[in-house]
Amino acid sequence: MSTENWEGQARKAKDLLQNSIPKQWLVSADKLPPADQKNVEDFPRKSGVLSDREISITEKSATALVAGMAAGMLTAEEVVVAFLKRAVLGHQLLNFATEFMADEAIARARELDAHYRRTGKLVGPLHGVPISVKEHIGLKGRTCNAGFAAWVDEIASEDALLLQYLRKAGAVFHVRTNQPQSLMHLCCDNNLTGPTVNPYNRTLTAGGSSGGEGASMGFKCAPLGVGTDIGGSIRSPAGFCGAYGFRPTTLRNPGVGTKIPCPGQESIRGTLGPLASQSIEDLDLFQRALIDQEPWEIETSLVPIPWKRVAPTRNMTVGIMWDDGCVRPHPPITRALQHAKEKLLAAGINVVDWEPHRHDHGWEIVSTLYFPDAAANQRVVFAASNEPLLPLTEWALNFSRATPLSIPENWALNCQRDSYRDAYHALMRARGVDFILCPVYPGVAAVFGESHYWNYTAVWNILDQPGAVFPSGLVVDPVLDAVDGGYVPRSEVDAREWAKYQPERYVDAPIALQLVGRKYRDEETLAAAGLVAEIVQGRE
């Protein structure tokens, strides 16, 4: 850990990023959309940087890209170049990258193409798929700072284990992506790279903590990305940016080689997982490519459960959770749930209401377990470089109790956690509910800096139930989603969140939904989410 002042460290991080950007694809400032243009999602078509073929490539799913390369219709090189061009544009507009790796990515793509020409075969199920990677997931020889200034000089000695598997499966890593200071915002800002904004509305956050991934997916800078999630950090950015994301049950995906402030903290585990720009199917492809390699043979904490092939079935019961009993969702969310309900019923799916079970209790446990040491580890890292805390960092660190827990206090919370998990699971069984369809967040993407309420995602972390996020296909509509002035909030928190809603603050924001399954039913959850997304989006 460096003790150099944070400003010098930040300069290093900025220089590294700046020097890594492939300059040939930059658009000059006068040709970019004006700074006050909120929605920039369609800029790639207008930029002139990408050919029609490249636009088409970047709008394909990973599954389709691999099929194209298997058929000899696409080369890995042209694929990664197309996504690199789009990523450079995306970075100019959204500030989502921490480092480009263009030369290395193109070289790797050429190797893959040579392999294909030589053998007629792909190297693996992710052959030639460009994948963006959240910065704190280590890449050998590169900085791994997790958004902390004091860690800018920390260099990963190896690729994170998950990336090793993806690479073996054929993935090409072309860009590393931004994360908030401390990793603990559902927003994305830090003192190194600055804020990452939402492609659909640049006054909104791309979400967090995998906010760079959210922007990457929303702007289609890669078909797949890798994020991490301990309270919503994959699902929030996926949802906010109109993309797809999956938080698996913990201990299925490898975590070795990820830089975090509190390694060894196990009471509430984070997990790595995929985001995708195009489909749930791609999330399954990612998981399959990974787990088929039996990562538990290296990281022995993982459960040795093979990735099952599960076909979606309409023979399921979906419980809709309209409200978590604590914070009322904003009108667009409720409309999307209503829309989903109608579509699912029309498709012959059994739909019931889901009464939430003690989500406030879940929040009490999980928020205390985030910082059982009163965030001492984080504060040490900030102090090392004298780095100032951003407001949302303070916000998250204040979830902590004022003083560190004792070990027996931590044990008591572990017991509460396990009882809560068992009770929730029993309730799903008793009610015959296979999946819960629910909001990702009280609203659509938060206005930058306003991501305060975590528990539409965090509760599933403490319950350790897998969850997939997908776009409903709807966007905020000022007419349909008018403010409901008659609502009387239940609490200060409820009032705070409700007061944030005015449709004009969220123009063009996509509305996402989350499908949650039972613990370890990861494959079933993705299969069901794929079907539900198709039905809700009207693609079936």
Minimal distance, residue 415 CB to a copy of itself, in Å: 4
209 is in an annotated binding site: yes
Name which position in 33, 68, 312, 404 contacts a copy of itself (CB under 8 A): 404
Location of structure tokens 């010098």: 8
Query: Which candidate, 299, 322, 324, 314, places its Cα nearest to that of 424?
Result: 324
Is residue 350 close enough to count as binding a copy of itself by CB under 8 A?
no
Q: Tell me: is residue 530 an annotated ligand-binding position.
A: no
Give the Cα separation of 188 and 532 in Å (integer). 29
Q: Is 231 annotated as a binding residue?
A: yes
412 binds a copy of itself (CB under 8 A): yes
Residue from the set 405, 511, 533, 535 that interacts with a copy of itself by CB under 8 A: 405
Minimum CB separation of residue 304 from a copy of itself in Å reads 5
Distance from C-alpha of 329 to C-alpha of 441, rounded to nearest angstrom:
7
Closest to a copy of itself by CB, 128 vs 255, is: 255
The binder of a copy of itself chosen from 520, 530, 532, 535 (CB under 8 A): 520
HEC states along 460-474?
HHHHCCCEEEEEEEE
Q: Which is nearer to a copy of itself, 55 or 376 (CB)?
A: 376
Name, in order, each residue with C-beta under 8 angstroms of 386's C-beta and a sequence gap of 6 or more. Answer: 5, 6
Q: Is residue 425 near a copy of itself by the rule CB under 8 A?
A: yes
Residue 411 binding a copy of itself, by CB under 8 A = yes
Contacts of 165 (CB under 8 A, 6+ apart): 254, 289, 290, 293, 295
Q: Measured at the alpha carbon of residue 332, what is the angle toward residues 331 and 337, in degrees to the nearest 5?
A: 95
Query: What are the phi and psi torsion angles at 197 (to 5°)?
Result: -115, 170
Q: Which of 47, 209, 210, 279 is catalytic?
A: 209
Tokens 């809700």, located at residue: 536
**For residue 238, which of 268, 205, 284 has the smallest C-alpha distance?**
205
Q: Do residues 528 and 317 touch, judged by C-beta distance below 8 A?
A: no
Integer Cα distance of 97 and 177 in angstroms: 4
> Is 183 a known ligand-binding residue?
yes
319 Cβ contact list (under 8 Å, min separation 6): 351, 352, 353, 354, 428, 431, 433, 435, 436, 437
Annotate each residue in 255-294 with x if it binds a copy of itself (CB under 8 A) or - if it does not, as one string. -x-----xxxxxx---------------------------
Q: Is 377 in the site for a copy of itself (CB under 8 A)?
A: yes
Q: Among this protein's residues, is 134 annotated catalytic?
A: yes
Residue with tokens 């938080």: 247
Number of residues binding to a copy of itself, judged by CB under 8 A: 40
Q: Which of 12, 60, 134, 343 is catalytic?
A: 134
Contact pattern from residue 293 through residue 312 relative to a copy of itself, giving x for each residue in contact according to CB under 8 A and a dash for the rest: ---xxxxxx-xxx-------
* Minimum distance of a copy of itself from residue 406's CB (angstroms): 7
Query: Among 406, 478, 499, 502, which residue interacts with a copy of itself (rule: CB under 8 A)?
Result: 406
> Which DSSP helix (H) or strand (E) runs through 512?
strand 510-516
Among the candidate windows 152-160, 240-248, 369-377, 467-475, which touches a copy of itself by CB under 8 A? Answer: 369-377
In the complex, least distance from residue 447 CB atom to a copy of itself, rounded to whole angstroms:
35
Give whichever of 176 and 518 is closer to a copy of itself, judged by the CB atom.
518
Q: Is 458 in the site for a copy of itself (CB under 8 A)?
A: no
x/- letters, 122..151, toward a copy of itself (CB under 8 A): ------------------------------
Instruction: Round the CA-based radius of gyration of the chain to a whole number and report it.
Output: 22
Which of 78, 464, 481, 523 touches a copy of itself by CB under 8 A?
A: 464
CA distances from 432 to 95, 182, 436, 465 (A): 45, 39, 11, 16
Q: How far is the CB of 359 from a copy of itself (least distance, A)?
A: 17
Cβ–Cβ < 8 Å for 424, 482: no
At 112, give phi and psi (nearest 5°): -65, -40
Min dist. Cβ of residue 526 to a copy of itself (A): 16
- Answer yes or no: 259 catalytic: no
- Count, in order, helices (H) and strands (E) of the chain: 18, 13
Cite the active site residues: 134, 209, 233
Q: Which residues are annotated as a binding site?
A: 183, 209, 230-233
Give the binding site for a copy of itself (CB under 8 A): 256, 262-267, 296-301, 303-305, 372-373, 376-377, 404-408, 410-415, 418, 421-422, 425-426, 429, 464, 519-520
Q: Residues within the annotated binding site for substrate?
A: 183, 209, 230-233
